Amino acid sequence: MAADCTREGLLSAAQSYIAAQTAGKYTDLKLSTSNFTYRQNNKVSDISKGVLATAYKMDLSRSTADPLECASYTMWISSAGSKPYVVGTQLRHADNDTSTISMIDTIAATTGDLFFDAKKTLGYIQKEDWSTINATASRPSRELLKKVGDAYLDMWTDAKAADSIPWGTECERVEGSQYTNPCGKALPHGGSAKNNGMRRYVIDESVGSVEVMCSFDSLGNLPDTHEIRVIDGKVKYVHTITVMKT
């Protein structure tokens, strides 16, 4: 009988990732022995040479979970030291088995990347409310969340995409460390011939979030993650992490 992928199992695995990153010991993780992949900034890489091999003191970390995809997303910020980071990581688990990790997929931004300032980003994001939406009836559907995530990434190629998104009146957008409120102003309406591809999703209806890792091809093959939260049917938060060099 196939195992069920549970929210609890996903969040437990995410916590093990946070602990391993804090210690700089990827060997503490239970990685799949048969089919494990480590990807950093959209490139399959050697985990021993990635960001996980170095200890970072986290100022903030937060995780969401997608039992349907058997995947989680963790965002963390380390603003101190000579190499600050803002990182987004998807963990994926094969065969619904959250006791082992089959893929670690990381977008890691640091000094020199798009609008990068870890301290400013931390100041904005730590004020946000990402608590669980307790009333099940109030949670946005998976279909709506995916539609919003795709529409956001389609704004650079589809002139109608921006106006199809249900923007909230007090929506906050944090792109790197660049803050915009409300979210629905100063948006692209097409113009690029290249669609943003290589999309990988983590959708969490319990908190009303969609996170999409991609190659931001509309601006030049840039490793990127966009995370969006929807509350009461309207977009409340948008976060972006975009790497300018790999």
Query: 55-69 burial, b for 16+ CB within 10 Å, e for fewer?
Result: ebeebebbbbbbbeb
- Six token digits for residue 75: 């965002």
What is the distance between the alpha carbons of residues 114 and 125, in angstroms, rounded to a whole number?
A: 17
pLDDT on residue 81 = 85
What are the Cα distances from residue 144, in Å, to 72, 154, 160, 204, 243? 19, 15, 17, 11, 27
**pLDDT of the residue at 3:** 72
* Domain assignment present for 70: yes
What is the spatial distance between Cα 138 and Cα 136, in angstroms, rounded to a whole number? 5
110 and 154 share one domain = no
Are 203 and 181 in contact by the 8 Å Cβ rule? The answer is no
Q: What is the DSSP string of 194-227?
A: S--EEEEEEEETTTTEEEEEEEETTSSSEEEEEE
User: What is the total residue count of the chain?
Assistant: 246
Model confidence pLDDT, tens digit, residues 190-228? 999 999 999 999 999 999 999 999 999 999 999 999 999
Q: Are residues 179 and 232 in the same domain?
A: yes
pLDDT band of 246, cuts 50, 70, 90: low
Same domain, 142 and 179: yes
Asked whether residue 131 is assigned to any structural domain, the reply reads no
pLDDT value at residue 38: 98
pLDDT in tens, 155-198: 999 999 999 999 999 999 999 999 999 998 889 999 999 999 99
Structural domain includes residue 130 = no
Domain limits at 76? 7-125
Which pLDDT score is estimated for 184? 85
Instruction: Mark whether 174 and 115 lie in a shared domain.
Output: no
What per-residue confidence (pLDDT) applies to 136? 85
Q: Are 211 and 148 in contact (CB under 8 A)?
A: no
The pLDDT tens digits of the residues spanning 126-147 come to 999 999 998 888 899 999 999 9
Predicted local distance difference test score (pLDDT) of residue 2 = 58
> Are 78 and 161 within one domain?
no
pLDDT at 103 over 60: yes
Mean pLDDT of 107-119: 97
State mean pLDDT over 94-119. 97
Phi, psi at residue 114, to the nearest 5°? -60, 120
Tell me if 77 is assigned to some domain.
Answer: yes
Do the domain assignments include residue 213?
Answer: yes
- Give strand pairing partners of 32: none
Task: Tell me the two tokens of residue 63.
Answer: 């995780």
26 pLDDT more than 60: yes
Whether residue 185 sits in one domain with residue 103 = no
Residue 53's CATH number: 3.10.450.50
pLDDT of residue 111: 96
Which of 125, 144, 177 terminates a domain? The answer is 125
In a domain, 2, yes or no: no
Predicted TM-score (pTM) of this structure? 0.96
Average pLDDT on 24-51 reads 97
Note the pLDDT tens digit of each residue in 54-88: 999 999 999 999 999 999 999 999 999 889 999 99
Q: How many domains does the chain have?
A: 2
Distance CA 93, CA 28 (A): 17
Identify the domain boundary among 59, 90, 125: 125
Bridge partners (DSSP) of residue 165 are: none
Are 167 and 102 in the same domain?
Answer: no
**153 and 121 within one domain:** no
Beta-carbon-side half-sphere exposure of residue 22 (alpha carbons within 13 Å): 12
The C-alpha atoms of residue 67 and residue 79 are separated, in whole angstroms, by: 31
Q: Are residues 98 and 69 in the same domain?
A: yes
